[in-house]
Structure 1
Amino acid sequence: MSELIVTGGKKLKGVIVNQPAKNSALAIVCACLLIKQKVILRDVPQIEEIKRMLELLNSIGVKAGFVGPRQVEIDSSGNLYLDKMDKKSALAMRSSLLLFGALAKRIKRYKLYKSGGCRLGERTVRPHIFALGQLGVKINSKAGYYEVNNSVLRGQEIVMYESGDTATENTIMASVLAQGTTIIKMASANYMVSDLCYFLNSAGAKISGIGSATLTIEGVKQLRAVQNYHIMPDPIVAMTFLSVGIATGSHVTVADCPLDFLELELCKLRVMGQKFKIKKRRQSANGYFKVADIELIPSPLFALLDKIYGRPFPGLNVDNLPLFVPILCQARGRTLVHDWAYENRSIYLLDLQKMGVKITMLDPHRIWVEGPTEFKPASLKCPPALRVAVVLLICMLAAKGRSILSNTYAIDRGYENIYSVLNQAGADIKIVDDNKSKIK
């Protein structure tokens, strides 16, 4: 596994272009199993987690792969063989749970390996089991796998046990081909859920209420082929680049930011004293989302007087919460960061103490962050948590001197060419191959 040599303390400049949304792409790739024709997707991020998902689909009989830059072709018209599933790919990502909804109409009985991805604590599948069970999908948890039995799908009025993104996506996918009408209450209204709904509607689904907490889905008999659906830009990657720019005190612009899913984040930054300009407002390539370029202007920062915490949309995105830590490190004062959604993620942030960051852990969910910080270079290992791993990289970019970051698959899983993108903006990141004999 590669490691990074980061020479920090450099100002970034120019324009950093955001990437397509990982979580949208994963759901939409799985939703292609609902369509027994060829589908072409555009603006699919070329990241490790997408590659693992395509490997998994190919292993069960789907013809899926990149056919051009950010262009994926998927043909699931043939027979599917779940007993031939690539175990390694399934175990590598929690997003394989999206097969629950994608296969609800196609396969009566199968087993799905219990998956990995970010190790962030007790992430239960109970919301999936509760909602899908009402539609006719029975899921039993066994040692190392889930046993899935699908019966005739019938629409229901469902109140989500938890307003989770993936659970909502699974319920949507199982509902579009169900008999009758399904009403999903307490649905996630997050970006990837909306993107999935727009994609399915382009294939002939009948979903209304998109962007709200109540979705109404009229079941249809079949879906049609979709050509050239564009995945939306990623609000989490956009926030990542904003965090890099602010932590390094750079005058830099982040392009293609989905504004509706960054509103509270930008509000918090404004309250902290961060100056920025929103420029070139426009629609996303798929026509469904507002995007713009955000120009960061170096500014003195002040800690938030109250706590900062993530919550379901329209709150501050749970994935964006750790990305505020490098920013809070540069702010004068102390802020409470409350990561209620995960038991372990805040613990991983304690590694920043080795870089001179003043972090105090109150419990597994809450930390104090005090600034301003003079970052020190360090040699660290990425934890098995995507956003915390990239936080370590951000702080290294802000630290004057030479840092080393290993176990970087945790970052590669969700970010497309992030090292070269940052280098083009003025960063100094070198990739050392596994054998330590070659530097890229």
Structure 2
Amino acid sequence: MPTPAPQGPPLQRRLGLHSAITIGLASMLGAGVFAVWAPAAEAAGSAPGLLAALAIAGLIAYCNARSTARLAALHPQAGGAYIYGTIRLNPAAGFTAGWAFLVGKTASAAAMALTLGAYLLPDHPRALAAATVVAFCAINLLGVKRTALASAVFAAITLAVLAAVIIAGAAGPVAAQPLDGTRPWGVLTAAGFLFFAFAGYARIATLGEEVTNPERTIPRAVPIALGITFTVYLLVALTALSVLGTGTLAASTAPLADLAGASAPALKPVVAIGAGVAVAGVLLSLLAGIGRTALAMARDRRLPGALAAVSERFGVPWAAELAASGLVLILVSTLDLSGAIGFSSFCVLVYYGVANASAVTLDRRAPLPWLGLAGCMLVAASLPLSAVLGGLAVFAVGAGWFALTERRTRTP
């Protein structure tokens, strides 16, 4: 099924393979690796359980990545699963994916901004968070090449910090404190928390309208970025479990800082700075992704048409970028971080569920899209009840908005 031509000015294709990979890495190697280990360890209950959860999250992410890459190569248009669901399934499925992305990722962006503030300016975290959102909105408005360059810098710094933590941990003392044992259902819950740390590779597909030679670039960039990220996460998990154990890990508010403190105390401030830089990299590309999805939905009259405006000079959806950043600023001022990771993971798993269902239409005999779809739904259901109920309430609101826009789009 052909991709319809986007309404309004097209975005400019400026991202090559290297830029796409670095945006994917910066999107994944961020807040998650510094924050998810504590709730995941508590849910899993043991070191084998945590490693099993990491494997499950990685497998689901791989299935999602394959589905997303195939779809993005066929439909290289801004919007990601919103476009795929609309074209290959139906408008309701596409809207569900777009709504899930906008809601889940906007909440995630606010949480990441607050995390950055907590690491780098703990006395005034909201002030730094708000200033960061404004600064990154300005960077994104200058064009996607600036976004790719900044993402490359953030990804390189994050990898260097994580490498230092892993090396120090491997050479440090072992004082592991275990928990009471593996909890089978808790392993799935832990996989949901850990999935939050992977949910960034689709940023490459979301920016598909700005990727050069997308039919070749996207299917290569997504698995490369995901493979590098999984390897780094596995090394971090093995190091943290050997030094701290699941008991200490589950009780930690800053797991990697505690890991550095147990192995090489001089690294603790470096880890704090590294965490801030990593979160900054994710937040930068995340704001860009939210803006592109809002652009695609505005083009289809699922959001106000004014959000479809694209800058002729810089080739970016400036109205959608400003609206997304403004909403994140509101949430930064009001958001309670409790349960933010679970809520965001629930919405993003629904998003990828639509992507996998869309990929099924390419080849119904292919196992990976079916496995990805089943995994997304199962892990989403295993998340804490507050996250599940909150997510369902948000989707109920979205269903009402879709019904309203559906009547509007059918009106001449």
Same fold judged by TM-score > 0.5? no
Question: Comparing both structures, which one devotes a greater share of its residues to helix?
Answer: 2
Indicate the structure (1 or 2) with the bigger Cα radius of gyration. 1
